[in-house]
Amino acid sequence: MINNHINKINFLHSIIFFIFTSATSIIFDQFQNLNISPIICLLLILSIGISHGALDNQKGRKLLDIYRIKSIYVFYSIYLMIAVSIIVIWFFTPTLSLITFLIVAAYHFGKEDTEFLLSNKFNTNIVLYFSKGSLIIIAPLMFHFTETINIFKLLLIQNENFYLFLSFVENNYIIFFIFFISLFVHVYFFMKDFKIINMLIFFDFISILILNHFFSPLIAFTIYFCFLHSFRHSISLISELDKLNFKNGLLIFIQKALLLTGLTSIFYILSLYFLSNYYQINDAIFKTIFIGLASLTFPHILLEYLLKKNEK
């Protein structure tokens, strides 16, 4: 009963998100002089986007209990060490870091946006999750190739061979080949354990394409990350906090999420202040958003993996 209620919320959310993206895209297309500042994207990510990982400290406590470690500071120390290490590694090997981040992010998006639909989660192939989530990575390249390349350059990617490879991928229609593989995997997940709720797979699929067609890569990603991916993950966290009363679970979630969300926001703002001394403000915002998300994504996914492994 509880899962059915959450699935109904997810299904309704996908429909609303589809209508929202369609409506905003039409408005944006009609008023092409509208300009959404990167600072707005940063504020949305800091408030709504990263909050879906703001209960990692609670999950950290569970993991520590499993390994019979009493001090929560052990978790905070390791989590922070991994995050800082990712930032340091990025500045020394940005190309490798970006490629790794894109691969991990594609898998993470594919898994988190699909797993709740599956009755048998542990036997699903990692490649399938990656292929489904790769839509988030290739859609900006399909619709805004040059602008996406410029974002990569802002992220300190100076490797000419990397850009030659991307040009080869674009000129030889490899991007569209990857797109059709992702489409095929979407169809596979739609048919697997078929239920009416599986329709949301295609609502999400179309919404992502609409976003990336009408909006710049940063805006499209921000809307997807905050209002689809993070919102859906937060729903699952809220249901875990109170399985019987969703509203009460929401209040508990907000209370528990404030601490880490606030601390992470302070870390982002300090990073932006530091980078703004060396780069133009918009360039600094791009670096803060994507390198910052990479630094949070790796420990977040590692924590999820260790918990799921022990559950299995």
CB 202 within 8 A of CB 18: no
Spatial neighbors of 192 by CB under 8 A, at least 6 apart, are 118
pLDDT at 312: 63
Alpha carbon distance 286, 292 (integer Å): 9
**Eight-class DSSP state of 104:** H
| Whether the model pTM is above 0.85 | yes
User: In 10 A of CB 304, how many CB atoms?
Assistant: 16
List C-alpha distances in Å: 271 to 34, 87, 281: 28, 11, 12
CB 156 within 8 A of CB 96: no
222-15-215 Cα angle (round to 5): 30
Alpha carbon distance 234, 226 (integer Å): 10
Give the pLDDT confidence of 100-144 residue by residue, as tens digits.
999 999 999 999 899 888 876 655 688 999 999 999 999 999 999
pLDDT at 270: 95
CB 144 within 8 A of CB 216: yes
pLDDT at 213: 96
Distance of CA 15 to the CA centre of its chain: 19
Q: Name the packing angle between helices 126-143 and 145-154 (round to 10°).
A: 110
Which ranges of the chain have pLDDT less than 50? none
CA within 13 Å, CB half, 298 = 23
pLDDT at 121: 60
Sign of CA dihedral 186, 116, 48, 281: negative
Residue boundaries of the structural domains of the chain: 2-23+72-311
